[in-house]
Structure 1
């Protein structure tokens, strides 16, 4: 990227913060390919991407409906010994929902529990929507029951996901 080449020529050293700003800017205008290139560039200049770097990249790939890249970035994040946060997981589970992959959504919810990251309403609603698309009514009911026991309390979108899953499976 020209701006970073110019910075390096002037003996200034870009930081993870400056890269994160560029990654976030490209993510906001849905240029996911540039986001991936910037993330690679961070490593090329011997900087370490952080959770913010990965969250922006994962969000860009989710918005571009690139499910494999989204999960690949989550794997890269783990390999870099970075701890995904609720934003990371909610975005990845939303990618699963878009891909109609309820199984990966459930795996990620389970991983959140193992990593002591509390799922928020966005995580649960995306997982419930994935269950709806897959007609996984039992899984949807189980998730809703878990929400009632542990929180967050289901909202209208949660209940619509459960009802939709039951409807698609013809389990009224």
Structure 2
């Protein structure tokens, strides 16, 4: 692994990494995160009783849309043609949270870690937005990259946090 900061030129100015000479490879990234919510929110989501609509369905679409717009949000990210994007949710009633998982695949010259992380964040923020009238104390937590493959650096598995 190189410790060279690739987003800076010799003068120390921020640049977009030059991927011209890189080979396109299949790349995949999986990110996860949680939103801690009240039992009332869990119950109302499960029973489709949130006035704004299908919370997880809308959060899924918001996360997918965010993945496609990552390069517009993160200044030095390359625009990518997304081959696959999936946002999934798991409700943990015992610990009162909803976990979002975002899987993104491309066949490109640069990775999709930022896209997966963006998708998770926006999906969770959408849940917050749709439920904030019930409880504003919700907390986004444990947002992390769990897996990535492809490219020169190969496979990364966040075994401690998958």
Q: TM-score range by the shorter chain?
A: under 0.3
**TM-score in terms of structure 1 length:** 0.22
Larger Rg: 1
**Greater percentage in strand:** 2
**Greater percentage in helix:** 1
**TM-score in terms of structure 2 length:** 0.22
Higher relative contact order (CA 8 A, sep 6+): 2
